[in-house]
Structure 1
Amino acid sequence: MYTFDIDYILINMLMFLFFVYAGRNIDKSKHPWQYIWLCSIVFTIVLGCRYMRGNDYLRFQMTFMYDQDKTEVLFTFINRFLRWVGVTKYTFLCAYSLPFILCGLYFCKRYVSLSKFLYPAFLLAFIFFDEYCIRQALGFSFIFIYMVVLFNMDEEECKLRAKIRNFLLLIVCALAAVSIHSVNALNVVFITAIFIVLRGKCIPWFISIPSFLVSSFVLSNSIDWSLFQNSLSYLGNFSEKFYIYTTRANSFFSSDAFQNDYTRSVGGKILECFGHCSLFYLGCKTIKKIPSPKSIVALYNIYVIGSIIDMCFWNYELLRRVFDPMLAFWCFSIAFVLENASKLKYTTQEKFMFLGLLYFPYEMGFKYLVERGQMTLFLWDM
Structure 2
Amino acid sequence: MVYITYVILNIILLLIFIIVGRNISKYPKISFWKLYTPAIISYTLILGARWNRGADYKHYQNIYNHGLEYEQKLFSAINDFFNLLGVNDIGIFFVYSFIFIFLAGFIIKYYRNIAIWLLPLFLFAFTTFDEWFIRQGLGYSFIFLFLIFLFNDKYSINIRFIGCTLSALCACNIHSGSIFTIGVIILCYVFCRKPFDYRICIILYLFSSYYFQYNMDFTYVNIFLTHIEGFDGRMDQYIKMSDDWFSNYASSDDYYRKGFVKLFQTLGECSFFYFTNMAFKLRSNIIENYKVKSLIILFNVYVIGSIIGQMFFIVEIPKRIAMTIYILWCFPLAYTLCTIRFRMLNQIQKIFFLTLTFWCYEHLKYIFYRIDDVYYFIWDRF
TM-score normalised per structure 2? 0.92
Residues 58-102 of structure 1 deviation map (CA, whole Å, 9 limit, x = unaligned): 111110111121121111111110111121111111111111111
Matched, 1:57 2:73: no
Kindly indicate whether residue 173 of structure 2 is the aligned counterpart of residue 179 of structure 1. Answer: yes
CA drift at 1:313: 1.3
For the residues of structure 2 that align with 1:63 and 1:57, how far apart are their CA atoms? 10
Partner of 1:296: 295
How far 1:267 moved relative to its partner? Answer: 2.1
Matches for 1:85-124 after TM superposition, within 5 Å: 85-124=85-124
The number of residue pairs the alignment matches comes to: 372
Q: Are 2:2 and 2:375, in contact at CA under 8 Å, matched by a contact in 1?
A: no
The yes-or-no answer on 1:9 pairing with 2:7 is: yes
Deviation at 1:242, TM superposition (A): 3.5
Aligned residues of 2:117 and 2:337 also touching (Cα < 8 A) = yes
SS of residue paired to 1:357: helix
Q: Is the 8 A contact 1:107 1:145 kept in 2?
A: yes
CA distance in 2, matches of 1:179, 1:191: 18
Q: How does 1:356-371 map to 2 (within 5 A)?
A: 356-361=355-360, 363-371=361-369
Work out the CA distance in 2 between the residues paired with 1:31 and 1:288.
Answer: 31
Q: Which runs of 5+ in 1 are unaligned?
A: none
> Which residue is equivalent to 1:279?
272
Task: Determine helix, strand or coil for the equivalent of 2:51.
Answer: coil
Equivalent of residue 23 in structure 1, options 1, 21, 24: 21
Is the CA contact (8 Å cut-off) linking 2:2 and 2:380 kept in structure 1? no
Query: Normalising by structure 1, what TM-score?
Result: 0.92
Partner SS state of residue 24, structure 1: helix
* 1:343 shift after superposition: 9.0
Distance 2:223 2:251 in 1: 18
Correspondence for 1:164: 158
- State how far apart, in whole Å, the 1-side matches of 2:93 and 2:342 are: 42
- In the alignment, the residues of structure 2 paired with residue 271 and residue 343 of structure 1 have an alpha-carbon distance, to the nearest angstrom, of 20
Q: Does 1:40 align with 2:40?
A: yes
Which residue pairs with 1:312 in the alignment? 311
| Whole-angstrom CA distance in 1 between matches of 2:352 and 2:2 | 31
Structure 1 outlier segments of 4+, above 3 Å: 237-249, 254-262
8 Å contact 1:50–1:377 — kept in the other structure?
A: yes
Q: What amino acid is the match of 1:381?
A: D
- From 190, 215, 225, the counterpart of 2:218: 225
Pair 82,262 (structure 1): closer, same or farther in 2 beyond 3 Å: farther
Cα 1:96–1:262 change in 2 (3 A) is farther
Contact in 2 for aligned 1:250/1:257 (Cα 8 Å): no
Matched letter for residue 255 of structure 1: N
Q: Give the 3-state SS of the residue equivalent to 1:202 in structure 2.
A: coil
Say which SS state the counterpart of residue 177 (structure 1) adopts: helix
167 and 132 in structure 1: CA distance in 2 versus 1, 3 angstrom threshold = same
